Structure 1
Amino acid sequence: MEGDCLSCIKYLMFIFNFLIFLGGSFLLGVGVWVLVDPMGFREIVAANPLLFTGVYIILAMGAMLFLLGFLGCCGAIRENKCLLLFFFMLILVIFLAELAAAILAFIFREHLTREKFTRDLKRHYQGHNNTDVFTSTWNALMTTFDCCGVNSPEDFEESLFRLLSPDKMVPGVCCQGNGHPGDAVDDLSRDECQKGSMELRYNKGCYSAVVDYFETYIYMAGALAIVVLTIELFAMVFAMCLFRGIDQ
């Protein structure tokens, strides 16, 4: 009976570690995609030190989970006590780090994210400079989501954009209909819009627009994080049970 129980724990641990292996592969894929993204999203990330650091943290966590999943599978199948103990200690550290990161991300999600994006927009956005990747990426974002600024059009006050274009309150992409085929804004309306007409511009910030659009995916990401933490917890339990069951 004990042999059957040990065998069951061994294969359950193999399954859980295979899931950890897949989770690590997914995080590696996300990190690599952000770094090589041809659409220019990486430029916004690169301009934000917090997000830029976060990408490399994701890559590091993905690599560690990838390695730990592999070690856990090998330790379970071969019933190697050294690999199992090494696996348990490392995954405990990762589990605590992920839990701490999740708590900090939840606590500071509003203040840090909005503040950093707004600061980056004020410092780096130029208006219609198509040669600047940061600017062209923000233009594409505001055109796609019919939004203006991070929080609102007021984000462009005391910004690099206003220094370069002192006669304009907002860039042309903030004007309603601009950038949509067959619905272009005429020059007079765009001029009124850029000089401050609230009726002719998009007054919703891009932060809220993007969060609303990806709300479902955000909840899915949160649920996935909970699942990953649960899998890691079970993997640690199975590793210790298997470690104690070997040679008994």
Structure 2
Amino acid sequence: MAKDGCCSTTCLKNVLNFFNLIFLFAAVALVIVTVWKLGNQTELIDLTSATYSVLIDFLIVAGILLFLVSFLGCYGVIKENRRVLLVYIFILLFIVLLELMVAFLGYVYKENVDEELKVNLNRTMLESFGVDEAKTLAINVMQRKFSCCGAVQFEDWRYSVWKTSNMTRNLVPDSCCKTTTTGCGIRDHPSNIFYDGCLEKMEDEMKNGLMTIIFVGLSVGVSQIIGIVLGIQLYLKLKEEIDINELRRILHNTYVIQ
């Protein structure tokens, strides 16, 4: 029989199931927030390093695993199955480590994203526009989204492969235009195109996304540590009760034999 009190088996089961319910909702929120960020930046990811995309993928995997392990935890609690609880604890620990790793890598990447974009964005725009279909789409999306033109300034396009190879009469891509129409980039007057570069706006977008990744990874990961502690306590409590019952059985058999 479970003892009464805050550390009783019944109390631990109720509290752990409550946290499993929280984990269930947290998992759904984690996937929704991450996919929303990914959905907002799908095309832009082609202009970044693989690190950003991998961090998002890891968070989605962590959310799916957390969703599934919540049900496993509930089953282990209801059935008082120590083996299931042990699997639950280890999977939860793995998810926590994954989320904390994502948060750490997100922080490190955030500190370096400025330099990476300064080195790579202008080169990608000058060398890949009109050549690489995915990057061309990403650049057009970026310029329309941020109302910008070129990496640092609109004049950057004069030195691009797209322009120097005589692929167009346009001075800038049509996505630079304030009102996008086919061929509108033939004029680079400020009344027709955006003069601001895309670099700073892209940096802000990336940093905001990384801050979301860091916050989600840390907040969900830290809350799961409570679940691990409760799971261990319940596992030990069930083991203790089994040991006590076994001891009582031995003592009872000894008394009957005597």
Q: TM-score, normalised by structure 2?
A: 0.67
1:79 shift after superposition: 1.9
Amino acid corresponding to residue 81 of structure 2 in structure 1: N
> What amino acid is aligned across from residue 202 of structure 1 in structure 2?
D
What residue is the counterpart of 1:69 in the other structure? 70
- Equivalenced residues, count: 229
CA separation of 1:109 and 1:152: change in aligned 2, threshold 3 A: farther
Partner residue, 2:249? none
Separation of aligned partners in 2, 1:207 and 1:114: 12
- Given the alignment of the two structures, is residue 45 of structure 1 paired with residue 74 of structure 2, yes or no? no
Q: Determine if contact 1:11/1:77 at 8 Å carries over to the other structure.
A: no
| Corresponding residue number in structure 2 for 1:243 | 235
Q: Which residue does 2:197 correspond to in 1?
A: 203
Residue in structure 2 matched with residue 226 of structure 1 by the alignment: 218
Structure 2: give runs of 5+ residues left out of the alignment.
242-258
Distance 1:153 1:236, change over 3 A: farther
Kept in 2, the 8 Å contact 1:143–1:179? The answer is no
Cα distance, 1:223–1:102 mapped onto 2, change above 3 Å: closer
1:130-174 per-residue CA deviation (whole Å, 9 max, x = no partner) reads: xx4543443233223223345665875865444445887754544
* 2:189 aligned counterpart, secondary structure: helix
Superposed, which structure 2 residues align to 1:1-248 within 5 Å?
A: 2-5=3-6, 6-29=9-32, 41-45=41-45, 48-112=49-113, 115=116, 118=121, 120-126=124-130, 132=133, 134-149=135-150, 159-164=160-165, 170-174=172-176, 178-179=178-179, 187=187, 189=189, 201-203=195-197, 205=199, 206-210=201-205, 215=208, 222-246=214-238, 247-248=240-241
CA distance in 1, matches of 2:54, 2:214: 20
For the residue of structure 1 that corresponds to 2:196, the secondary structure is coil
SS in 1 for 2:18: helix
Go from structure 1 to structure 2 and tell me whether the alpha carbon gap of 1:74 and 1:59 turns closer, same or farther (over 3 Å shift). same
Q: Provide the alpha-carbon RMSD of the alignment.
A: 4.1
Compute the displacement of 1:201 (Å): 1.0
Q: Partner amino acid for 2:15?
A: L
Is the alpha carbon distance of 1:152 and 1:100 closer, same or farther for their aligned partners in structure 2, counting shifts above 3 Å?
farther
* Stretches of structure 1 lacking an aligned partner (at least 5 in a row): 194-199
Q: TM-score, normalised by structure 1?
A: 0.69
> Residue 243 of structure 1 aligns to which amino acid in structure 2?
Y
With over 3 angstroms needed to count, the CA separation of the structure-2 counterparts of 1:124 and 1:70, relative to structure 1, is farther
1:109 Cα deviation after fit: 1.7
1:15 & 1:107 partners in 2: Cα distance?
34
- Shift of residue 220 of structure 1? 5.8
Counterpart-to-counterpart distance in 1, 2:12 and 2:156: 56
1:66 CA displacement: 1.6
Shift of 1:122: 4.5
The residue type paired with residue 205 of structure 2 is V
Question: In the superposition, relative to structure 1, how do residues 20 and 222 fare at CA in structure 2: closer, same or farther (>3 Å)?
Answer: same
2-structure distance, mates of 1:151, 1:24 = 40
CA distance in 1, matches of 2:130, 2:83: 57
Q: What is the CA-CA distance between 1:106 and the residue it aligns to? A: 0.4
87-96 or 19-28: which moved more? Answer: 19-28
Work out the CA distance in 1 between the residues paired with 2:69 and 2:152. 41
Q: Is the 8 A contact 1:125 1:134 kept in 2?
A: yes
The 3 A distance-change label for structure 1 pair 50 and 222 is closer
**Using the alignment, how far apart are the partners of 1:85 and 1:72 within structure 2?**
9
Contact (CA 8 Å) 2:171, 2:188: kept in 1 or not? Answer: no
Task: Report if the CA contact (8 A) 1:126-1:164 is conserved.
Answer: no
Say whether the 8 Å CA contact 2:31–2:59 is kept in structure 1.
yes
Amino acid at match of 2:105: L
Could you tell me whether the CA contact under 8 Å between 1:145 and 1:209 is conserved in 2? no
